Amino acid sequence: MLKYTEVSKAFGELVAVNKLNLNVEAGTILGFLGPNGAGKTTTIKMSCGLVKPTYGDIEAFGISISKSRKKYIKNIGAVLEGNRNIYWRLTPIENMEYFAGLRGISRKKIREKMDEYLEIFNLKEKRNVECGKLSRGMQQKVAICCAMIHEPRILFLDEPTLGLDVESVDSMENIIKKIISKDRIIIITSHDLKFVSDLCNRITIIHKGVLVLDKDISFLESYSDNITYIIETQVLQQEIKNDIHKNFPVYIEDNNNKTQIRITLKEDNEILEILNYLKEISIKLFNIRKVNFELKDVFMDIIKGDNGEYARSNFDI
Ligand SMILES: Nc1ncnc2c1ncn2[C@@H]1O[C@H](COP(=O)(O)OP(=O)(O)OP(=O)(O)O)[C@@H](O)[C@H]1O
């Protein structure tokens, strides 16, 4: 189990992570979500021993990072945000050998592991190509291979789909499904909520350093009766947006010279209320469409509010 007890990190006055308490069981693929600046990367860096918590402790399968850092780190593998996790001038094989060497694993010993990973990650044909010449998706796969070369039981993937095309996102999803096992934990941060809800069996949301949701993915099913609409209008003034926020369970964003209002309702005809409101203030409507209720709706509901302040949720979470 991965266990966080009161884990906190302050950078001067700014509290990036505030008393995080969380237990993650083996076999879990955890979606660790939050808006920009919520504290995700700081939490991952603390979990990898790269940033020291100001307060609190993290334990990986009973080993405490504050008491036995070296032993703790053996359980951890991580691919951090960005594309600097591997050496571009080296091939996938050379990168794996290099990272194995850093962990004190001999070339001979990892040969078998490398073959297995090249197979799983579909990298066999590219084994001797410089990583700088590979696609972004392949580079990301090599980075994961390197992070797993010492067979850690806990793997952190910070934004694994960033910059990947749809096909590569699919392939990443399949690979993560292949590498999870009942004695392993995979923790993923991502802004791609579809990827997360398709893949993860548990969802946590952190907002302004505070854990605000921790649920099994099945919790979404309890909202399957909800109906979500997207209403596209002329660009709305901030005052009007604030007023809509106050009166309706919505998420509002501007997109391509339009304002998109995403609203989740219990009954279809509740849509009339907001449409009447928009009509009364003479707002031009461009489009209305029904979409599936998604993790996105819960996520946006939790983090919405004026200036991104935590607002009371419309859902029973
Ligand atoms: N080294 C640092 N020094 C000062 N402040 C920092 C440092 N690292 C992070 N922060 C601040 O801590 C807060 C949390 O940042 P963090 O990078 O953990 O967020 P995040 O959830 O990963 O965001 P994003 O989705 O944008 O990557 C932010 O306000 C950030 O500016």
Closest CA to 121 of 90, 135, 142: 142
> Do 17 and 46 touch, CB atoms closer than 8 A?
yes
pLDDT in tens, the chain (317 residues): 999 999 999 999 999 999 999 999 999 999 999 988 899 999 999 999 999 999 999 999 999 999 999 999 999 999 987 767 899 999 999 999 999 988 888 877 888 888 888 988 889 999 899 999 998 889 989 999 999 989 999 999 999 888 888 888 888 899 999 889 889 999 999 988 889 989 999 999 999 999 988 999 988 877 777 888 999 999 999 999 989 888 887 888 888 899 999 888 888 888 999 999 999 999 999 999 988 878 887 887 777 643 444 344 555 55
Whether ipTM tops 0.85, in short, is yes
Instruction: Report how far ligand 1's centroid is from the alpha carbon of 183 (Å).
Output: 30
> Within a 13 Å sphere around the CA of 61, how many CA atoms are in the beta-carbon half?
14
Distance CA 111, CA 309 (A): 51
Q: What is the domain partition of the chain in residue ranges?
A: 1-216, 224-290
Distance CA 108, CA 82 (A): 30
Distance CA 30, CA 207 (A): 16
Residue nearest atom 17 in ligand 1 by C-alpha distance: 41
> Which pLDDT score is estimated for 65?
96
Give me the residue label for tokens 């979409």: 291
Which of 9, 15, 17, 40, when mutated, tests ligand 1's pocket best, judged by the most ligand atoms within 8 Å of its CB? 40
User: How much of the chain is helix, strand and coil, in % rounded to 5?
Assistant: 40, 30, 35
Instruction: Report how far ligand 1's centroid is from the alpha carbon of 10 (Å).
Output: 10
Residue nearest atom 5 in ligand 1 by C-alpha distance: 11
> Which pLDDT score is estimated for 62?
95
Closest CA to 295 of 173, 192, 177, 166: 192
For 73-201, list the strands marked E by DSSP: 76-79, 154-158, 185-189
Q: Which fold, 1-216?
A: Rossmann fold (3.40.50)
Beta-strand pair 227-233/202-207 = unpaired
Beta-strand pair 76-79/63-64 = unpaired
> Which pLDDT score is estimated for 309?
41
The whole model's pTM is what?
Answer: 0.84
Beta-strand pair 55-60/29-33 = unpaired
Residue 37 Cβ contacting ligand 1 at under 6 Å: yes
Beta-strand pair 29-33/185-189 = parallel
Residue nearest atom 9 in ligand 1 by C-alpha distance: 42
- With helix as H, strand as E and coil as C, how does 32-89 read? EECCCCCCHHHHHHHHCCCCCCCEEEEEECCEECCCCHHHHHCCEEEECCCCCCCCCC
What CATH number labels 224-290?
3.30.70.260
